[in-house]
Amino acid sequence: MKIDLSDYERGDKFAGDYDAALAAVQTRLERIQIAHIIHKRPAILVLEGWDAAGKGGIIKRLSARWDPRFFEVMPISAPSEDELAHHFLWRFWTQLPGKGHIAIFDRSWYGRVLVERVEGYASKAEWKRGYDEINDFETQQIDAGATIVKLFVHITQEKQDKELAERLDDPWKRWKTGPDDYRNRAKRAEYLEAIEDMFTKTSTRQAPWTVIDGNSRKAGRIAALTAIADQLEAKVPMTPPPIDPAFEKMAREALAGH
């Protein structure tokens, strides 16, 4: 099914009690994380999207009730000289989650077919080859037992400009912006073409793309957290394992009289 980003530009405000909805989906996510821990399942969450689309706000609310010992946030920036000396996927292998852990990638290996393509950091042969390499990489993780959830947070140019201006004007948000945001902004048409190709070539049955309309922050956050919860919950047993009878007997005897 073809993904058309223009279908995700309504920016409808969240209908309902946002705080109650957020609390409810965070409670779901809390149990989902516990299910991954006790069943020793790894999960990989990929967040891509425009600069200032709200990925950080989604991650903040996604992990608000998670045990920090069992999840990691991977903020992906430009590769180092050492990383550039290897295949582009090399640096991601060491950041993959172990059993029972969830890894959140704030940008990811999709940089090969997005920013590296548009900005000329990868040759045409390299980024065109990247689609198959990425699909194979993700299939390997899934075959090894991981769940992969991929979100793209979409905002219009008008919304992006508003957010960038707010960051520029607020000294406590200014650290979030830099020259690259504006260089990327000037190439929106080229990025739109690259994004369309990315969806077409890497939205697979096992690891499909989910687009989030980020033009309303609150509605986008609920939609993103719900999509993550739905996809993770579908791949992990949500029934706690039975308690070991010998352990239960020992524990209850130890607690007798308390």
Contact in structure between 49 and 214 (CB atoms under 8 Å): yes
Assigned token pair, 162 = 């508003």
pLDDT for 1 beyond 90: no
pLDDT digits 0-9 by tens, 15-26: 999 999 999 999
Assigned token pair, 17 = 């009690």
Contact in structure between 214 and 12 (CB atoms under 8 Å): no
In three-state secondary structure terms, 152 is: strand
Q: How confident is the model at residue 39 (pLDDT cuts 50, 70, 90)?
A: very high
pLDDT digits 0-9 by tens, 92-147: 999 999 999 999 999 999 999 999 999 999 999 999 999 999 999 999 999 999 99
pLDDT for 181 beyond 90: no
Beta strands in 31-184 (DSSP E): 43-49, 71-75, 102-106, 147-154
Burial class (CB in 10 A: 0-12, 13-18, 19+), 112: buried
pLDDT for 184 beyond 90: no
Query: In this prediction, what percent of the chain has a pLDDT beyond 90?
Result: 93
pLDDT for 258 beyond 90: no
How many other C-beta atoms can be found within 10 angstroms of the C-beta atom of residue 186?
A: 8
Instruction: Show Cβ contacts of residue 202 under 8 Å, excluding neighbours closer than 6 positions.
Output: 110, 113, 131, 134, 135, 138, 209
Tell me the mean pLDDT in the region 67-95. Answer: 96
**Diameter of the chain measured on Cα atoms:** 73
- CA–chain centroid gap for 252, Å, is 42
In three-state secondary structure terms, 118 is: helix
Q: What are the DSSP calls for 184-202, one per residue? A: HHTTHHHHHHHHHHHHHHH
Q: How far apart are CA 167 and CA 150, in angstroms?
A: 26
pLDDT digits 0-9 by tens, 204-240: 999 999 999 999 999 999 999 999 999 999 999 999 8
Mean of per-residue pLDDT scores for the chain? 96
